[in-house]
Amino acid sequence: MKAGILSIALALMLVLSSFLPLLADDTGTITITMTGADEISITLSKTSWGPEDAAGTGIVSSDTTYLTSPPIEWCKLTNTGNANVNTFVVGEDAKWVNNSAYKWTLSSNGTNGDNIYGLWFRISGDTTRGPNHDGYVPITTTQDEFWPYSGGSSLAPGDTKQFGLKLLTPTLFHGGREMRTHITINAVAA
């Protein structure tokens, strides 16, 4: 009989002890802080570019460099939000619009090769940045600093930066194919 009473008592203790931590849980509070009044917003004065030969045919040649016009003040980026932002740039492979299986691979260092193309940007005022110390920085498939760089100041509301692009076409590619790519500029709170 004693064993029976002991078992029942143990059972009650076990059930109660299981509930105790649950009761204690109610004191934990999940907090969500939303920095709400501020908004992220950057705008670009231009978003399209069709590099082409002097005749304006919309055709590019192999192993050739093309610059936006004007070269380094082609597009203006403006911080139109009300928060300081850091900006980053990332590119991607160029794909044939009719069949994305054919592509030009974006170079990891701005150089070109067979079906490999290079993309560069240069911010107006930058004269030493980049591997060639001429202000031009390769755009790759890895997100990299656009502005600021090397721990400089972020873009305050209303700040602007002008920049241009450079395209280096592949040494060899299939002709007559319309290629399309994207360059993404990411903006995040500083």
Q: Which of residues 92-131 bind another protein (CB under 8 A)?
A: 94, 97
Q: Is 31 in the site for another protein (CB under 8 A)?
A: yes
- Count residues binding another protein (CB under 8 A): 77
Closer residue to another protein, CB minimum distance, 43 or 127: 43
Using the rule CB under 8 A, which residue among 72, 75, 106, 155 binds another protein?
75
Q: What is the Cα–Cα distance from 92 to 171, expressed in whole angstroms?
A: 18
- Residue closer to another protein, measured from CB, 74 or 135: 74
**Which window, 43-51, 105-113, 128-136, 154-162, contacts another protein (CB under 8 A)?**
43-51
Which region, judged by CB under 8 A, interacts with another protein, from 46-54, 105-113, 130-138, 153-161? 46-54
| 156 touching another protein, by CB under 8 A | no
36 binds another protein (CB under 8 A): yes
The least distance separating another protein from the CB of residue 152, rounded to whole angstroms, comes to 13
Q: Which of 71, 88, 130, 160 binds another protein (CB under 8 A)?
A: 88
Q: Is residue 86 involved in binding another protein (CB under 8 A)? A: yes
Nearer to another protein by C-beta: 82 or 127?
82
Contacts of 136 (CB under 8 A, 6+ apart): 110, 120, 121, 122, 129, 130, 166
Phi, psi of 11, rounded to the nearest 5 degrees:
-60, -45
- Tell me the C-alpha distance between 135 and 96, whole Å: 30
